[in-house]
Amino acid sequence: MTTANVAVLGALKPLVKSCVWPMVRPAGQSGTPYIVYTPISANPLVVIGGWAGHKQIRMQIDVYADTLTEAEELSNDLIPVLEALTTISAEVVDGGTSSFEQDTRLFRQTTEFNIWEQTL
C-alpha cells in the first residue's frame, strides 16, 4: 500500500530533477523549478462496520519557477502524471492559482487534488 505522500513524491521527482519536498523547501536548497506538496486535510472513509482503510487526502501542490509561464506549464504537466497513478486515485479539483512570492522573487502556481489512498 502506498500513501499519497509517497506516491506524489515519487511521481513528481522526474519532472524537476528530484527537487520535490513536503511542505517547504529545505534550507540550503537552491535552484528552480521546484515543487512543494502539502496535505491540507485527511478524511477517513467510514462505513457501517467502521473505518474502511481508505482516506481522502486534499493535497496542494505548489510549483515555483523563475517565470509564470514555466510555473504554469509545469503545473499543467503534473496533472496527468498524478491522475495516471494506479497506487492512489488522484483527481484535480482546482486547476491552478498563480501568485508571485516577493521574498523569493519566484512565481508560484498552485494546484489542488483530492487523492484516495488505501492504508490497510
Give the tens place of pLDDT for each residue, 28-85: 999 999 999 999 998 877 778 877 677 899 999 999 999 999 999 999 999 999 999 9
List the domain boundaries for the chain: 4-118
> Quick one: cell of 76?
499543467
Which string of DSSP letters, residue by residue, matches 32-53?
A: S-EEEEEEEEEEEEEETTEEEE
Give the tens place of pLDDT for each residue, 77-108: 999 999 999 999 999 998 889 999 999 999 99
Contact 29, 64 (CB under 8 A): no
Cα distance between residue 80 and residue 63, in whole Å:
15
Alpha helices in the chain (DSSP H): 4-12, 68-83
The CATH number that domain 4-118 falls under is: 3.30.2000.30
Q: Which band of pLDDT confidence, cut at 50, 70 and 90, is reported for residue 120? A: low
Cα distance between residue 24 and residue 45, in whole Å:
28
